[in-house]
């Protein structure tokens, strides 16, 4: 089904376009809707009066299919289209599994009745501040198709101006401006104010006059599509995430089975959340039983690793956060109960990169055996913690793990857990393994019972485990020194 374009209201400024894929929506777009062939459909008042509706028409390509729901949510949450300036917003999830309906498949579409029942009301648009979105200046519909697709992959809403006049309103305020080769000469003659973050985009960079116009406008780069698509997605995503923010990333491993690595990983993430930090908890051990069980969050809606194994390249941190389960404020990526037992290296790289841009702390629970995904996580981490019980056999087993860790991770520290049946202390274990001692954690009463009940460790900020977590997070700069002993 080919969609007709519906122009925005007169005087509304640049049109806002939405992207997502080709297919037939449950209802036809009304007059006043903004549509784009092969991508998003955004239209007010379709399902219910005083509601706007954005329909997902089909999944994206494999590289971003794992996060398109989160990207769409992010785009919708920042919309300020004149057609809906006084209405509430609604978003209908069209049969994407992993969002509460894990039995569907990416090619399934919802009936109008099912869509209506899944609508989630959002705050009114009029209450939202005007967003600053990247601006695309082009009348080339083929090029615009590609730009909207790439913006969606980066989790970014895109403002569109199809002539020089309509670009003036957002020219200086947009965080990034993409100028199509078709309007470079016209813009150069209009001589808009010089600005940073200006890119020229074309399917043929040898077009006549293109380079002269790029110089006249002061463009930062001239990009050729499709060759520069991956780079452009990353640049677009930077307008949402920021290019410089990097959180502390801690990988936690056990020196032997049952050492308590998952418990410590969860406690670190819970402590950061309790003290007001944005935290991600990522389960990188397919044989660990699922770290969501430690939190009692196994029934929380959201994507698990099997939904993200095809993900690679740049993903918006907002899109990732929206797609993953949220358990008491903590963003969690764990496993389902299926048969997948491996994480591809590109998937781990993409997820960690997005999480690091979007949080203050990322904690990764890793297996003791070496995998490509574990190596990727260790190479990206700030600190790796090796958890070793104060037992002779545990120390012997941990020596092999320590040798592997020190060849990959930039900073490896030892955590010794009590009790110590033979009186081994942390300094002796550290000397034996030739690792710096991050600290010792005394045995904690009733901790095993709490874990069995799905009660998160360190949730109340009391006990040896919580005290160690506060101390370590202060040392890593996640918490300021004056809050290291403060309870939330």
* Residue 220 per-residue DSSP state: S
pLDDT digits (tens, 9 = 90+) for 212-245: 999 999 999 999 999 999 889 888 887 876 655 5
Residue 4, classified by CB atoms within 10 Å of its CB into exposed (0-12), middle (13-18) or buried (19+), is: exposed
Of 112-121, 148-157, 387-396, the one with minimum mean pLDDT is 112-121
Residue 302 region, left (φ>0) first, then alpha (ψ -120 to 50), else beta? left
Q: Please, which pLDDT band fits residue 275 given cuts at 50, 70 and 90?
A: very high
For the record, the structure tokens of 274 come out as 């309790």
Average pLDDT over residues 42-53: 33
Of 3-7, 192-196, 234-238, 381-385, the one with minimum mean pLDDT is 3-7
pLDDT digits (tens, 9 = 90+) for 301-319: 999 999 998 887 777 788 8
What pLDDT, on the 0 to 100 scale, is given for residue 467?
Answer: 94
> What DSSP string describes 154-204?
TT--EEEESSHHHHHHHHTTSS-EEEEGGGHHHHHHH-PPP-SSEEEEES-
Which of 289, 329, 302, 359 lies closest to 456 in space, CA to CA?
329
Cα separation, 362 vs 358, in Å, equals 9
Of 12-21, 157-166, 254-263, the one with minimum mean pLDDT is 12-21
Contact criterion met (CB below 8 Å) for 239 and 261: no
Residue 347 has pLDDT above 70, yes or no: yes
Give the distance, in angstroms, between the CA of residue 103 and the centroid of all CA atoms in the same chain. Answer: 24
More confident residue, 115 or 205: 205
What pLDDT, on the 0 to 100 scale, is given for residue 242?
Answer: 60
Domains of the chain with CATH codes: 15-127 (no CATH), 135-241 (3.40.50.2300), 248-483 (3.40.50.300)
Residue 377 has pLDDT above 90, yes or no: yes
Please state, rounded to an integer, the average pLDDT across all residues of the chain: 74
Q: Is 363 helix (H, G, I), strand (E, B) or coil?
A: strand
Residue 38 has pLDDT above 70, yes or no: no
What radius of gyration, in Å, describes the C-alpha atoms of the chain?
25
Give 185's contacts (C-beta < 8 A, 6+ positions apart).
Answer: 209, 213
Give the distance, in angstroms, between the CA of residue 344 and the centroid of all CA atoms in the same chain. Answer: 17
Average pLDDT over residues 202-209: 88
Residue 16 has pLDDT above 70, yes or no: no
Q: Please, which pLDDT band fits residue 482 given cuts at 50, 70 and 90?
A: low
Residue 33, classified by CB atoms within 10 Å of its CB into exposed (0-12), middle (13-18) or buried (19+), is: buried
Which of 36, 27, 50, 49 lies closest to 8 in space, CA to CA?
36
What pLDDT, on the 0 to 100 scale, is given for residue 71?
Answer: 37
Q: In the chain, how many H helices and how many E strands? A: 17, 19
Q: Count of CB atoms within 10 A of residue 223's CB?
A: 19
Percent of the chain having pLDDT more than 70? 70
Of 92-96, 150-154, 458-462, the one with minimum mean pLDDT is 92-96
Q: What angle do CA 110, 116, 118 make, to 5 degrees?
A: 75
What pLDDT, on the 0 to 100 scale, is given for residue 243?
Answer: 53
What pLDDT, on the 0 to 100 scale, is given for residue 93?
Answer: 29
> What DSSP string describes 425-451?
-HHHHHHHHT--EEEEE---TTHHHHH
Cα separation, 473 vs 393, in Å, equals 29
Instruction: Give pTM, 2 decimals.
Output: 0.60
Residue 254 has pLDDT above 50, yes or no: yes
Residue 376 has pLDDT above 90, yes or no: yes
């Amino acid at each position: 089904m080919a969609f007709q374009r519906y122009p925005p209201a007169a005087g509304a400024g640049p049109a806002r376009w939405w992207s997502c894929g080709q297919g037939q929506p449950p209802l036809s777009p009304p007059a006043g809707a903004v549509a784009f062939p092969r991508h998003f459909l955004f239209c007010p008042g379709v399902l219910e009066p005083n509601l706007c509706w954005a329909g997902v028409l089909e999944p994206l390509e494999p590289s971003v299919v794992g996060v398109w729901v989160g990207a769409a949510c992010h785009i919708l949450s920042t919309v300020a289209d004149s057609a809906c300036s006084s209405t509430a917003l609604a978003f209908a999830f069209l049969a994407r599994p992993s969002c509460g309906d894990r039995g569907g498949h990416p090619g399934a579409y919802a009936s109008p009745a099912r869509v209506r029942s899944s609508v989630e009301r959002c705050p009114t648009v009029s209450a939202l501040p005007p967003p600053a979105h990247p601006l695309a200046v082009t009348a080339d519909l083929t090029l615009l198709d590609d730009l909207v697709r790439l913006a969606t992959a980066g989790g970014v809403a895109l403002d569109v101006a199809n002539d020089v006049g309509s670009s003036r309103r957002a020219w200086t305020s947009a965080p990034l401006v993409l100028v199509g080769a078709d309007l470079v000469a016209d813009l150069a003659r209009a001589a808009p104010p010089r600005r940073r973050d200006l890119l020229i985009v074309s399917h043929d960079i040898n077009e006549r006059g293109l380079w002269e116009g790029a110089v006249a406008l002061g463009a930062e780069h001239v990009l050729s599509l499709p060759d520069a698509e991956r780079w452009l997605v990353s640049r677009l995503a930077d307008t949402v995430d920021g290019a410089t923010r990097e959180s502390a990333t801690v990988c936690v491993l056990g020196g032997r089975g049952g050492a308590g690595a998952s418990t410590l990983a969860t406690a670190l993430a819970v402590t950061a959340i309790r003290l007001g930090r944005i935290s991600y908890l990522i389960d990188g051990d397919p044989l660990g039983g699922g770290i969501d069980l430690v939190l009692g969050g196994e029934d929380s809606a959201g994507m698990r690793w099997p939904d993200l194994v095809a993900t690679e390249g740049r993903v918006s941190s907002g899109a990732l956060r929206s797609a993953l389960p949220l358990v008491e404020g903590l963003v969690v990526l764990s496993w389902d109960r299926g048969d997948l037992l491996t994480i591809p290296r590109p998937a781990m790289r993409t997820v960690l990169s997005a999480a690091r841009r979007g949080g203050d702390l990322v904690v990764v629970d890793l297996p003791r055996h070496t995998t490509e995904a574990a190596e990727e996580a260790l190479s990206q981490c700030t600190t790796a913690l090796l958890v070793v019980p104060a037992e002779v056999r545990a120390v012997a087993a941990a020596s092999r793990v320590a040798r592997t860790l020190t060849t990959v991770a930039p900073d490896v520290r030892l955590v010794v857990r009590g009790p110590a049946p033979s009186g081994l202390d942390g300094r002796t274990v550290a000397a034996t393994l030739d690792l710096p001692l991050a600290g010792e954690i005394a045995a904690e009463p009733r901790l095993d019972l709490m874990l069995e009940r799905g009660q998160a460790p360190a949730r109340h900020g009391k006990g040896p485990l919580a005290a160690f977590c506060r101390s370590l997070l202060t040392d890593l700069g996640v918490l300021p020194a004056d809050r290291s002993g403060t309870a939330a």
